[in-house]
Chains A and B, each alone.
Chain A
Amino acid sequence: GENVEQHPSTLSVQEGDSAVIKCTYSDSASNYFPWYKQELGKGPQLIIDIRSNVGEKKDQRIAVTLNKTAKHFSLHITETQPEDSAVYFCAPEILYAGKSTFGDGTTLTVKP
């Protein structure tokens, strides 16, 4: 099965700084790479995703970059705000396989 590792497990930044979270996976067949944000007491919410035929995708202050050769992808958040504080999960998967493997999460704290 897929082995997924996220680094770092915790990340603390000052408001306005950038944050980067890296996800490493083992299954070279994975071709869909989403990131989820989970706030306290809520379910995960998809914030950005990328497919294997694309190297980078950006949506306002967040971006995802993919290195399929090295089998890792990263979440980039610029101009961080206190409301970005949450747990972030990566969940690489094979499209249409019907299941995904989540990392153990990265707790991001943005200090005002």
Chain B
Amino acid sequence: DAGVTQSPTHLIKTRGQQVTLRCSPKSGHDTVSWYQQALGQGPQFIFQYYEEEERQRGNFPDRFSGHQFPNYSSELNVNALLLGDSALYLCASSKRGAWGSGNTIYFGEGSWLTVV
């Protein structure tokens, strides 16, 4: 049983460009959350998707947007990239619609984004 898979694993973009990161949740999971983890810091919540809708959002500008597909996979899009967007982007999935419901939350290994 595959866990949470993310792609690409590494990528380099130029300031001002746009990037799309992809996530496939663990089999049986229907909720996907995205996190940004800067070097040496804890993950910061970006947003959560359930039933193809954004349910919760952290303190991130609307340059960060997302989508969830009928098969529960998800994309994170970042427009007008800044140098400060360089980070590890983590996807986490869980079962049912309730985050932190006591169901185990699984993280992917992340996508390393470098903005130059």
Contacts and interface: CB of A to CB of B under 8 A. Distances in A.
Interface stretch (B13-21, B38-46, B65-73): B38-46
Interface string B73-113: 00000000000000000101000001111101111111000
Interface string B40-70: 1111110010000001101100000000000
A34 to B, nearest CB: 8
Residue among B42, B104, B106 facing the most chain A CB atoms (10 A cut-off): B42
Given A43-B4, A100-B45, A103-B42, A49 B110 contact: no
Residue among B56, B92, B99 facing the most chain A CB atoms (10 A cut-off): B99
B33 interface: yes
A103 B92 CA distance: 17
A104 B100 contact: no
B42 A104 contact: yes
A95 B43 contact: no
Given A102-B42, A103-B42, A105-B41, A44 B99 contact: no
A32 to B, nearest CB: 5
Contacts of A93: 99-100
B98 A96 contact: yes
B106 to A, nearest CB: 8
Contacts of B107: 36, 43-45
A28 to B, nearest CB: 17
A89 to B, nearest CB: 5
Contacts of A46: 104-106
B6 to A, nearest CB: 8
A98 interface: yes
Interface of A: 1, 4, 32, 34, 36, 41-46, 49, 51, 89, 91, 93-105
25 contacts: A1-B59, A32-B100, A32-B102, A36-B107, A41-B109, A42-B109, A43-B92, A43-B108, A45-B107, A46-B106, A89-B43, A93-B99, A94-B100, A95-B98, A95-B100, A95-B102, A97-B99, A98-B48, A99-B33, A99-B45, A100-B45, A100-B100, A102-B35, A104-B41, A105-B41
